[in-house]
Every structure is written in structure tokens, then in C-alpha cells.
Amino acid sequence: MSYRKGSHSVYDIKYHVVWTTKYRKAVLREVAKRLRELVRQTCATMDIYILSGHVAKDHVHLLLSVPPKVSVSELMQRLKGRSSRIMLQEFNELRRQFWGQHLWARGYFAASSGNVTDEVIQQYIESQEGITDVDDQFSIGST
């Protein structure tokens, strides 16, 4: 396991994100290379590492390592917004199919990912020494 370091933090935050084209139209094959380039550029400006990715005909999957200062909503807003704006400018065919400046569907999927399970973390927390007070799975240890 390799942790990333910021000026005041050490972290390992990974997200699996997926988003689709509006109406699930299968149009990404023709523009996949440009889309991949735009996603890489956007991630680089936000200090996000792409661990894995795939552009399908109507959706995009990414596994990303993200700094703690970047929220999932900010990440998705930047990825979808920039890629939509630039691709609709550059590809006339997309403009014809997606009138109204909307290339992507409204929502997205996001899940956190890690090297240990929730159960392992819970067992670690419960095994801490010097527990003096337990209230609803949230304990206080002695100092």
C-alpha cells in the first residue's frame, strides 16, 4: 500500500466513478481518444491520479486516487462540465445529437474504494486500549 502525501496530510482515498451520455446514446466510440485526453488533463490539474479507466460507447468508468481537498461533487462537476463543453465545441456530430449543451446525463455513480474492508476498520477501532465510555458504537478512550 502506498500513501500519498500533501502538505498537511497523508492519505489513500480512491473513488470508482461512472457517468453516462444523455439518453445513453452510443456516441463515445468516435470521440473516445479526445475524451480520454480531456479527462487526463482535468485530473492532472486537480492532482488526481487515474489508476484505471475505460471509455465505453455510452459511459465512462474511472478508478481515481483523489486528494482529500477534492470532493466527489467537485470532481464530477469538473470532469463532466469541461469534457462536455469542449467536446460539443469540437465535434459537430455531437452538437447535432445533443442540442441544449448537454452531452452527459444528469447524475453519476461514485463509490469509495480501499485496501481494507469496513469490518477491518471497525475491529481496529474497537480494539483500541483504554476504552472508558461506549455510546452507540462511538467510544472514548482514556488519555
Which residues are identified as catalytic? 124
The Cα–Cα gap between 28 and 20 comes to: 10
How do 49-55 and 4-5 pair as beta strands? Answer: unpaired
3-class DSSP state for residue 132? strand
Question: C-alpha distances in angstroms, 94 versus 33, 53, 82, 99?
Answer: 15, 22, 15, 8
